[in-house]
Amino acid sequence: MELLKSFYEGHCINAYQFFGSHKTKKGIQFNVFAPNAKKIFVIGSFNDWQETHEMQNNNGIFSIVIKEAQLLDQYKYRIYDQNMHFVDKCDPYAFYSELRPHSASIIYDVDKFKWNDKKWMNARSNHDSQPINIYELHIGSWKFIDGEIPTYKNIAQPLVKYIKKHGFTHVELMPINEHPFDGSWGYQPSGYFSVTSRYGTPDDFQYLVNYLHQNNIGVILDFVPIHFVKDSFGLAYFDGTPLYEYPNDHDANSEWGTLNFNLWKEEVRSFLLSAAAFYLDKYHIDGLRIDAVKNAIYWNGNSNNGINQGAIDFLKRLNFMMHHHFDHILMFAEDSSDFPYVTKSTFENGLGFDYKWDLGWMNDTLKYFALDPIYRQYHHHLLTFSMMYFYNEKFLLPLSHDEVVHGKLSIFNKMWGSYEQKFAQLKALYVYQFTHPGKKLNFMANEIAHIREWDEKEEMDWFLLRYPIHDAFNHFYQKLSNLYLKKEALHQYEYEGLSFKWIDADNAGQNLYSYTRKSENSTIIVVLNLSGNTYHQQKIGVEFEGSYRIILNTNDEKYAGNGNDNPIFVKSVNENCNHMYHCIKVNIAPFSAIILEKKHRRK
């Protein structure tokens, strides 16, 4: 059988079509890979959980057809090891599972849903010169519906309305694979093919994706192919031996109290390749964000331990095969290492990701904005350094859930200063993010200036929008986010070095930064004042003579600022400034940002 041949060779992306439970004319077919098991029984609701159905062993693959079993029945595998000790395991390939704390697998048909997203699927692209503005979302804590945790179905309409209003192009869902512990947020999986039953059924999740696609919103999933839970009902010592994990404790145990996948093993590679492909195939997912890539590149995530070549080979295979078999899907690397060529093609000896999270940009930026302005002149480079390496990879700029938990404070509370000063700087921070080259990602609640840290047990503090200053910030965020979508200069040619140029990267004494973003149709000027001083008639060098229109000023009263004391159009004068023959003069308030635009005449 060709599928099994590729499974053993580590190139199988559709193992879920054979393994697991499947409805046939004769009953439910069960197949499980457990080469070191002595014997296996299928126990479930159809046989009162008794050892009445023993599977047949065919070279390590155990199989049985049970005519009494039906769709939605619960089941487990009772696996006896070579010493005749048994453990009841959930099915590694189960499509659906019991709600925690229970852990039985559930027989399910994921092929009956009727999709209506053909137009979206045919129009997908790699977004190289297009905007990507991602809203990272934890389904269970976004917004309670009628006082209850939302479901895949009832979150769909309010979520789509909100996303479109705020100018997001994609939703990134934190892991929706089954997991036993709520506090792991899904990053400690137990069911790799099973969407979590916390929010509904597989059909319900397909409904959510379908509805997002019908409204031109892409869906990215967090995928965790590096480690899995130790719980006895899961993959750990599945057949009495380390079948999925490394055989030695040092390599097997991760820093998160989980087990690392043995990414050198071909059957494990096929399992994970198939899990990734399953979501792209059966759920029409548009992209995968691969978690903890550094922990795959280096043994236990530590560069001092050396490169894990087997894991690197797996990542290359994962990216190559997903791109080869699924048109225009996106692969994102959450990677905090400086390992080279993460977003270079596998044909050029790269890892083959489309985009890499720029965690260096995130750390430097948040460190700068936490500084007392008195000391910022000595750390001016924190906001300029990112452009020194930006063209080495295709970067995405993230302000993710990782930055607003575990005592790290919310993005709002990371800002230096008083309550009002924090708001002013938060607006400047977002102007910097949205006008800096690179795709964008923000975690839910960043857009309303959330004060407290994220808690997976509570919904967002929507009541904040009743306060004028938070409401004003939210309107500012909507304006900025939609400017990013509409202005080609903010995303066109951004990875080719054609769209960005510093006007003045070295004005540390005034804590001023200025730069241009350019497209064929317009030039955008960005000025950031990150000091506590007001600068009157500040000279900014410009390339083109003429009038520049202010399209956003964070100090506008409608954004809870003190008012814009600049005209709508600022006309250039013939004075040398910043090594250019023309300049404009603007008034810029403390902790504020101005965006100006000059349209180019069409030839």
Do residues 304 and 319 touch, judged by C-beta distance below 8 A? Answer: no
In single-letter form, the type of residue at position 106 comes to: I
3-state secondary structure of 126: coil
Which tokens hold the place of 259? Answer: 């087990």
Q: Residue 245 gets which letter from DSSP?
A: B
Give the C-alpha separation, 296 to 303, whole Å: 11
Query: What are the CA-CA distances from residue 383 to residues 351, 362, 433 (Å)?
Result: 28, 10, 10
Q: Are 5 and 17 in contact (CB under 8 A)?
A: no
Looking at residue 315, its pLDDT comes to 98
Mean pLDDT rounded to a whole number for the chain: 96
Query: Is the Cβ–Cβ distance between 37 and 63 less than 8 Å?
Result: no
Q: Distance from first CA to last CA of the chain, Å, rounded?
A: 62
Predicted confidence (pLDDT) at residue 296 exceeds the cutoff of 90: yes
Q: Which of 273, 190, 226, 244 is nearest to 36 (CA)?
A: 244
- Alpha-carbon Rg for the chain in angstroms: 26
pLDDT of 19-39, one tens digit each? 999 999 999 999 999 999 999
| pLDDT exceeds cutoff 80 at 446 | yes
Given pLDDT bands bounded at 50, 70 and 90, which one contains residue 602? low
The full DSSP string for 66-91 is ETT--TT-EEEEEEE-TTS-EEEE--
User: What pLDDT, on a 0 to 100 scale, did the predictor assign at position 261?
Assistant: 98
Q: Active-site residue numbers? A: 291, 334
- Identify the band that residue 1 occupies on the pLDDT scale cut at 50, 70 and 90: confident
pLDDT tens for 469-518 read 999 999 999 999 999 999 999 999 999 988 999 999 999 999 999 999 99
Angle (deg, nearest 10), helices 202-214 and 156-165 = 30
pLDDT digits (tens, 9 = 90+) for 528-561: 999 999 999 999 999 999 999 999 999 999 999 9
Mapping DSSP onto H, E and C, the string for 206-240 reads HHHHHHHHHCCCEEEEEECCCEECCCCCCCCCCCC
Cβ 325 vs Cβ 369: under 8 Å = no
Rounded to an integer, the average pLDDT of 43-55 is 97
Q: What is the set of domains in the chain, with CATH numbers?
A: 2-106 (2.60.40.10), 134-411+437-490 (3.20.20.80), 500-599 (2.60.40.1180)
- Count of CB atoms within 10 A of residue 148's CB? 8
DSSP H or E stretch at residue 501:
strand 500-507
Percent of the chain residues past pLDDT 70, beyond the cut = 100
Q: Is it the case that residue 601 has pLDDT exceeding 80? A: no
Structure tokens at 496: 């080719």
Cα–Cα separations (whole angstroms), residue 200 to 203, 205, 305: 8, 7, 42
pLDDT given at position 256: 94
Residue 225: pLDDT above 60? Answer: yes
pLDDT value of residue 603 = 53
Do 244 and 192 meet the contact criterion of CB atoms below 8 Å apart? no
Phi, psi of 291 (to 5 degrees): -80, 145
For the chain, percent of residues with pLDDT exceeding 90 = 97
pLDDT above 90: residue 355: yes
- Helices and strands per DSSP (H, E), number in the chain: 15, 29
d(CA 72, CA 70): 6
Q: Three-state secondary structure along 554-582?
A: CCCHHHCCCCCCCCCEEECECCCECCECE
**pLDDT band, very low/low/confident/very high, at 128 (cuts 50, 70, 90):** confident
- Closest to 440 (Cα-Cα) out of 535, 533, 550, 361: 361
**pLDDT, mean of residues 53-79:** 97
Residues 185-213: b if buried by 16+ CB within 10 A, e if exposed: bbbbbbbbbbbbbbbbbbbbbbbbbbbbb
